[in-house]
A and B are shown apart, each in its own frame.
Chain A
Amino acid sequence: MASLRLQNVGKRYGATTVIHSIDLDVPDGEFVVFVGPSGCGKSTLLRMIAGLEDVTSGEVGIDGKRVNEISAAQRGLAMVFQSYALYPHMSVYQNLAFGLENLRTPRVEIDAKVQGAARMLRLDALLERRPTQLSGGQRQRVAIGRAIVRDPTIFLFDEPLSNLDAELRVQMRAEITALHKRLGTTMIYVTHDQVEAMTMADRIVVLRAGKVEQVGTPLELYNHPANRFVAGFIGSPQMNFLNGRVAGADAERIRVALDAMGSAAAEALPLRGASASPEQAVVLGIRPEHIGLGAATAPSLSLPAKIDRIEQLGASSFLYCTVGAGERLTVHVAGQVPHVSGETVTVTLPVADSHLFAATEGGAAFPRR
């Protein structure tokens, strides 16, 4: 059990910088998820923590001790690889025992630990089999077992579920979460799937192009995304974005004129607008599940939307609409709706659930009051 601290950690390959100066504090026992699109550097960051990649700049500290110079074999961590990396010529038992043998653990102790891990992961019947004789899910559990057996201070997971089918993935997510509850060890988990991140993490680190976009609990990221990227990355279906301009702003509120609405909205958004300048280009973000149909029950922006397509799932409905001069809007309402495609309906965007982002490259959010 250990805490992890990254200070100014960076990685360069020759002239290309892959990771730009990352700071992160992971307290003991936390389940942290690194999430981001392909190529954002999350796997590289994990491998630097593991010791499989050199740290070009900055410091990696485990339990307060600097580990940059310590080799992967000596750091006392364990990693579950995306491809599982099970030794094909060894039995499950030998795969599990290999790490302990390298540490010259006595036979009796090895046996006890291996049997214990096998029982925890329901592998006890499979100990004599070879990896090629196992199913995908079983191999995954052996890979996890191999990590457990070594009693590591930190568990590292590198996209372990991406090779499994959807059903198995749901099952394994629950198993890994249960494992974390049971062992209480610090776990760092890398994935590109935001659903995995949202369901498993204590805290999420959103990465893009080698930089940290935001760190927070799942609900923090959902409710208060720091910028447009995080807002669009977290949440499914993706948040809607509508272009507009600042019509007026002060420290307590911002009034916007959406391109789709033509004129400035009557209702203002309860956001800190001190940094907003008049006529500044902004982007309004609203999640599909927050949009209402028909009359508003709370202060909202209303605008007409033409329905292109409806998907009725019974318990909820998805409406795919066009607003204004062609901007798309997805609406997700509970229950069934009496509308049909081609109809124009009034959609209401509650200001309490609306986010506003600068229309710049960074797309920083205007914070809530």
Chain B
Amino acid sequence: MSRDRHPLLALPAAFGRAVLDLLDAPMRAVQRLVGVPRIAWIFVGPNLAILGLFTFLPIVINFYFAFTGGVALYPSQRPFTGLENLETLFECESYLDPSTCRKDLFWRAIFNTGKFAVLQVGLMVAFALITALVLNRKILGRGFFRGVFFYPVLLSPVVVALIWKWVLQREGVLNALLAGAGASPVGWLSEAPTAFFWCVFVSIWAHMGFYTLILLAGLQAIPPDLYEAAEMDSASPWRRFSRITLPLLMPNLIVVLVLGLIRAVQIFDEVFVLTGGGPGSATTFIVQFIYQTGFAESIHQYGLAAAASLVLALSLLALTLVQLRLTKKGLAGGSGRDHG
């Protein structure tokens, strides 16, 4: 079977044969022991083991951490404190003013994350939709431009942050362009409102392409003769968009919005490298709070970090449930296709 393949595959093929021969005998023995149907458990075993060890077990342990105190890492050394960690997090005179809270960084992070999620997802989905609409037309070089918007999605968040950090330097190219136009240079990342803006911008820059492709696929699934029928029905371009395109694209839009929100709420990598959470705590988001509390400060407060993780997990769960509910409604409503 592997004989008539490309000569370049000779080495992996030889490797494959070696592994096969090595493991064949023990695997046959296991097979005799367990029988063919149950050997499936052997195959699925390693994956399950990893998941069990690094996903399911930690979920359970997380609760334990959240409800215990002290600074030890090992659970046996942690005294049970019940809801104390959660109470600490939620201790506030006024929930609307983070500075009145005991853990004001936590609340600032919550507010920042909320603001960020709404802004970033709203703008990103809007731009993704516009881009998808443009790319859906008969444009020369469509495939090329599709790739153009998708490229930043492939870059690592650290690289993305550094690319923009370099542009936004006090003596960077953006300020140079401003100076050339007669304006004065701005400390983009050292002022709170602009730093926040750039976090939103960079995040949109890095992820928009992915959602554009999803929306583009949705647009291309709309039969073109619906638009012609609408033209014959005297529909203006705006009505064609609002009464045909938008309703039929709704399932994709919902998916994109919820996926975007789930990712936005967990934002960390690129903003951590771009601003480090600053200036002050202006761009500190919830995951950074967890990281800092649990790992970066001199005293690792595992309990608080775990409790904060629970809060994050709950909001993600809520978002996922919302998506499930909306998709069910959306599917029943809009995506029925007329097959003539």
Interface, chain A (partner B; CB < 8 A): 50-52, 71-74, 77-79, 81-89, 98-99, 102-103, 130-132, 136, 139, 146, 150, 163
Contact = CB atoms under 8 A, between A and B. Distances in A.
B338 interface: yes
Given A52-B228, A81-B228, A85-B226, A98 B235 contact: yes
B232 interface: yes
Contact of A88 (B233, B234, B239, B336): B336
B231 A88 contact: no
Interface string B32-73: 000000000000000000000000000000000000000000
A87 B244 contact: yes
Interface string B319-340: 0000000000000011111101
Given A82-B340, A163-B340, A87 B226 contact: yes
B82 interface: no
B124 interface: no
A79 to B, nearest CB: 5
A13 to B, nearest CB: 13
A140 to B, nearest CB: 9
A99 B230 CA distance: 8
B247 interface: yes
Contacts of A73: 231-236
B265 interface: no
Q: 5 closest A-B pairs (Cβ-Cβ)?
A: A99-B233, A85-B229, A83-B340, A132-B336, A85-B225
Contacts, number: 85
B231 A139 contact: no
Nearest to A73: B234
Interface residues of B, number: 24
User: Among the interface residues A71, A85, A99, A139, which one has the most CB atoms of the partner chain B within 10 A?
Assistant: A85
Given A85-B225, A87-B226, A79 B232 contact: yes
A102 B229 CA distance: 12
B233 to A, nearest CB: 4
The interface centre, meaning the residue of B336, B337, B338 with most chain A CB atoms within 10 A of its CB, is: B338
A77 B232 CA distance: 7
B241 to A, nearest CB: 13
Contacts of A74: 234
Contacts of A163: 340
A339 B235 CA distance: 64
A164 B108 CA distance: 64
Contact of B231 (A52, A86, A103, A146): A52
B253 to A, nearest CB: 13
Contact of B230 (A98, A131, A139): A98
A113 to B, nearest CB: 13
B243 interface: yes
Interface string B248-267: 10000000000000000000
A51 B231 CA distance: 9
A88 B232 contact: no
Contact of B225 (A77, A81, A130): A81
Contacts of B338: 83-88, 131-132, 139
Given A83-B225, A89-B247, A89-B248, A72 B232 contact: yes
B223 interface: yes
Given A73-B232, A85-B226, 13 more contacts: A51-B231, A52-B231, A73-B231, A79-B232, A81-B229, A84-B338, A85-B229, A87-B338, A88-B248, A88-B338, A89-B247, A89-B248, A89-B334
Given A87-B226, A87-B244, A88-B248, A99 B340 contact: no
Given A79-B229, A102-B234, A163-B340, A89 B239 contact: no
A102 B233 CA distance: 7
A72 B336 contact: no
B236 A85 contact: no
B16 to A, nearest CB: 49
13 contacts: A52-B232, A72-B228, A72-B231, A81-B228, A85-B225, A88-B334, A88-B335, A88-B337, A89-B247, A89-B248, A99-B234, A99-B235, A102-B239
Given A84-B340, A89-B247, A102 B235 contact: yes
Contacts of A52: 228, 231-232
Contacts of B335: 88-89
B336 A89 contact: yes
Nearest to B226: A85
B236 A102 contact: yes
Contacts of A71: 231
